[in-house]
């Protein structure tokens, strides 16, 4: 048995890709997308009909040029999700514009718009996850959406404070970013002899997983943003792992044995009082890595969102 197949005995695998070819090749349960993945996929031949339809949709909706660009961008993301759902049994995650990360109300309204666009194409909301950055505003927006029957995936998650607040808000799923945490520490203290047990990204996900299971939070933990197969195998047993096509291929070609590393707690439990906003902001602020990587991630997704919109604008 190859490492990929062995891993699926302990963990549900999710394709971290907007490329339909990769999704069909590895047949994951779910798939996740973000502006960066959509931007890269938009250059592929398979995407050209989806883009053409999105532009036609935006023109039919009318409005000024800015509105039509926004509608075209949303439609491209939805069209990609609809296409991906033809090849997977589970859910697709579609991301809210990162530029709205600090506006709770606009996050909610944009999410409701995206869900309606999916439903208009015959996709039930039970097959969707709305991705939001795990800012305080994003987490509170997700809390509102969950209460209204729209389930969420909180992304760009780097600190324990973010993870705790997400669980307390009752969000469906979180995506802690293993690789970007690793990058931050590696750039400051290069380690030539890699040991997965010492990887700060791996340790972060394990801490979150143990806390959730100990306190019986129902929020799913889905490790994300991996740099190497060792990080993935060190989290065998995590609820879910979202993995790039390159690393899925590496695991498929590997015969390294896989053992379960994460096991749910059976301890007696209680759930602590939820964090207030000032507590959340202070605890998150105490983690320099998390503050820097959250801000950087929002900026990068915003840049790629703008590039996607510029590409669409040139074709309107």
39: left (phi over 0), alpha (psi -120 to 50) or beta: alpha
Virtual torsion, Cα 212, 197, 262, 271, nearest 10 deg: -20
- State the Cα–Cα distance between residues 225 and 311, nearest whole angstrom: 26
Please, which residues have CB within 8 angstroms of residue 284's CB and are 6 or more apart in sequence? 159, 161, 162, 290, 291, 294
Q: Which two tokens stand for residue 314?
A: 């040139």
Q: Do the strands 220-223 and 92-95 form a parallel or antiparallel pair, or are they unpaired?
A: unpaired
Q: Rounded to 5, what percent of the chain is helix, strand, coil?
A: 55, 10, 30
DSSP states along 66-100? HHHHHHHHHHHHHHHHHHHHTT-SS-EEEEPPGGG
Catalytic residues: 131
**Beta pairing, strands 152-157 & 220-223:** unpaired
Two structure tokens written together for 142: 């997700």
What's the sign of the alpha-carbon dihedral 80, 81, 84, 85?
Answer: negative
Handedness of CA 165, 168, 172, 178 (dihedral sign): positive
In the structure encoding, which two tokens stand for residue 101, read together?
A: 């990360």
CA distance linking residue 135 with residue 156, whole number of Å: 9
For the record, the structure tokens of 114 come out as: 């995206």
């Amino acid at each position: 048995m190859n490492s990929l197949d062995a891993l699926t005995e302990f963990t549900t695998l999710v394709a971290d890709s907007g490329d339909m070819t990769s999704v069909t090749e590895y047949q994951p349960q779910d798939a996740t997308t973000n502006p960066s993945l959509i931007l890269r996929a938009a250059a592929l031949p398979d995407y050209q009909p989806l883009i053409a339809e999105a532009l036609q949709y935006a023109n039919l909706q009318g409005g000024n040029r800015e509105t039509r660009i926004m509608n075209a961008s949303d439609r491209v993301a939805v069209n990609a999700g609809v296409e991906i759902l033809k090849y997977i049994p589970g859910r697709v995650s579609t991301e809210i514009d990162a530029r709205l990360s600090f506006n709770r109300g606009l996050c909610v309204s944009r999410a409701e718009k995206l869900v309606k666009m999916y439903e208009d194409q015959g996709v039930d909301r039970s097959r969707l996850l709305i991705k939001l950055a795990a800012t305080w505003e994003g987490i509170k927006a997700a809390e509102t959406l969950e209460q209204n029957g729209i389930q969420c995936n909180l992304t760009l998650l780097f600190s324990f404070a973010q993870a705790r607040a997400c669980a307390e808000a009752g969000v469906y799923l979180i995506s802690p970013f293993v690789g970007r945490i690793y990058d931050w520490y590696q750039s400051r203290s290069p380690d030539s002899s890699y040991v997965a047990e010492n990887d700060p990204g791996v340790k972060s996900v394990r801490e979150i997983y143990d806390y959730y299971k100990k306190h019986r939070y129902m929020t799913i933990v889905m490790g994300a943003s991996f740099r190497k197969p060792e990080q993935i195998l060190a989290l065998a047993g995590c609820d879910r792992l979202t993995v790039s096509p390159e690393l899925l291929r590496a695991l498929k070609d590997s015969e390294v044995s896989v053992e379960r590393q994460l096991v749910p707690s059976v301890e007696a439990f209680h759930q602590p009082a939820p964090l207030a906003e000032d507590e959340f902001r202070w605890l998150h602020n105490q983690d320099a890595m998390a503050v820097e990587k959250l801000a950087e991630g929002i900026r990068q997704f915003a840049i790629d969102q703008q590039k996607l919109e510029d590409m669409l604008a040139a074709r309107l």
